[in-house]
Structure 1
Amino acid sequence: MDNDTFAALRDAVRRFVIERLIPSEDIVESTDEVPEAIIQEMRDLGLFGLTVPEEFGGIGLSMSEEAQVIYELGHTALAFRSVIGTTVGIGSQGIVIDGTPEQKAEWLPRLASGEVVASFALTEPEAGSDAASLRTVAKKDGSDYLLTGTKRFITNAPRAGVFTVMARTDPDTPGANGISAFIVPANLPGITLGQPDRKMGQRGTKTCDVIFDDCRVPASNIIGGVAGMGFRTAMKVLDRGRIHLAALACGMSERLISEALGYATQRKQFGQPISDFQLVQAMLADSRVDASVGWAMTTQTAARYDLREDVSLEAACCKYFASEAVGRIADRAVQIHGGAGYMADFKVERFYRDVRLLRIYEGTSQIQQLLIARKMVRAFTAGM
Structure 2
Amino acid sequence: MEGLHEDEQAIVEMVRHFVDREVKPVAQQLDHTNTYPDKLIEQMKQLGVFGLAIPEPWGEARVSTPCYALVTEELARGWMSLAGAMGGHTVVAKLILDYGTQQQKDTYLPRMATGELRATMALTEPGGGSDLQAMRTSASRVDDGYVVNGSKTWITNARTAGLIALLCKTDPAATPAHKGMSILLVEKGPGFSLSRDLPKLGYKGVESCEIAFDDFRVPDSSLLGEREGEGFTQMMRGLEIGRIQVASRALGVGRAALEDSLRYSQERESFGKPIWKHQSIGNYLADMVTKLTAARQLVLYAARRFDRGERADMEAGMAKLFASEAAMQIALDAVRIHGGYGYSTEFDVERYFRDAPLMIVGEGTNEIQRNVIARQLVSRGTVAP
Could you say which TM-score interval applies, normalised by the shorter chain? over 0.9
The 5-angstrom pairing of residues 147-166 of structure 1 reads 147-166=148-167
What are the ranges of 5 or more consecutive residues in structure 1 without an aligned counterpart? none
Partner of residue 179, structure 1? 181
The 5-angstrom pairing of residues 1-384 of structure 1 reads 3-88=5-90, 90-174=91-175, 175-186=177-188, 188-380=189-381
Secondary structure of the residue aligned to 2:62 is coil
Q: Cα distance, 1:58 vs. partner?
A: 4.3
Q: Cα distance, 1:313 vs. partner?
A: 1.5
CA distance in 1, matches of 2:93, 2:160: 15
Asked if the contact 1:340/1:346 (under 8 Å) is kept, the reply is yes
For 2:26, the aligned partner's letter is: S
Asked if the contact 1:263/1:337 (under 8 Å) is kept, the reply is yes
Asked if the contact 1:167/1:181 (under 8 Å) is kept, the reply is yes
TM-score by length of 1: 0.95
CA distance in 2, matches of 1:154, 1:35: 18
Secondary structure of the residue aligned to 1:158 is coil
Asked if the contact 2:92/2:238 (under 8 Å) is kept, the reply is no
For 2:202, the aligned partner's letter is: G
Count, aligned residues: 381
CA distance in 1, matches of 2:114, 2:39: 15
The farther-off stretch of 53-62 and 201-210 is: 53-62
Asked if the contact 1:21/1:80 (under 8 Å) is kept, the reply is no
CA distance in 1, matches of 2:247, 2:362: 12
The farther-off stretch of 268-277 and 361-370 is: 268-277
For 1:280, the aligned partner's letter is: I
Q: Cα distance, 1:357 vs. partner?
A: 0.6
For 1:43, the aligned partner's letter is: K
Output one character per residue of 1:300-321: Cα deviation in whole Å (capped at 9) or x when no partner: 2322322223332222111110
CA distance in 1, matches of 2:301, 2:167: 32
Percentage of matched positions with identical amino acids:
36
Q: Cα distance, 1:382 vs. partner?
A: 12
Asked if the contact 1:34/1:79 (under 8 Å) is kept, the reply is no
CA distance in 2, matches of 1:181, 1:25: 35
For 1:177, the aligned partner's letter is: K
For 1:66, the aligned partner's letter is: Y
CA distance in 2, matches of 1:351, 1:267: 20
TM-score by length of 2: 0.95
Asked if the contact 1:58/1:113 (under 8 Å) is kept, the reply is no
Asked if the contact 1:58/1:109 (under 8 Å) is kept, the reply is no
Output one character per residue of 1:143-201: Cα deviation in whole Å (capped at 9) or x when no partner: 11110111011100011111111111112114211111001112x11111012111001
CA distance in 2, matches of 1:160, 1:33: 17
CA distance in 2, matches of 1:2, 1:380: 32
Secondary structure of the residue aligned to 2:304 is helix
CA distance in 2, matches of 1:137, 1:304: 34
Q: Cα distance, 1:14 vs. partner?
A: 0.9
CA distance in 1, matches of 2:284, 2:32: 30
The farther-off stretch of 232-241 and 156-165 is: 232-241
Q: Cα distance, 1:381 vs. partner?
A: 8.5
For 2:83, the aligned partner's letter is: R
CA distance in 1, matches of 2:292, 2:56: 33
For 1:116, the aligned partner's letter is: L
Q: Cα distance, 1:380 vs. partner?
A: 2.4
Asked if the contact 1:126/1:134 (under 8 Å) is kept, the reply is no
For 1:325, the aligned partner's letter is: A
Q: Cα distance, 1:246 vs. partner?
A: 1.7
Secondary structure of the residue aligned to 1:225 is coil
Asked if the contact 1:74/1:251 (under 8 Å) is kept, the reply is yes
Secondary structure of the residue aligned to 2:381 is helix
For 1:36, the aligned partner's letter is: D
Asked if the contact 2:4/2:67 (under 8 Å) is kept, the reply is no
* Alignment CA distance shift 1:314-1:382 (3 Å): closer
CA distance in 1, matches of 2:179, 2:33: 43
Output one character per residue of 1:313-362: Cα deviation in whole Å (capped at 9) or x when no partner: 22211111001100010010011111111111111011100111100110
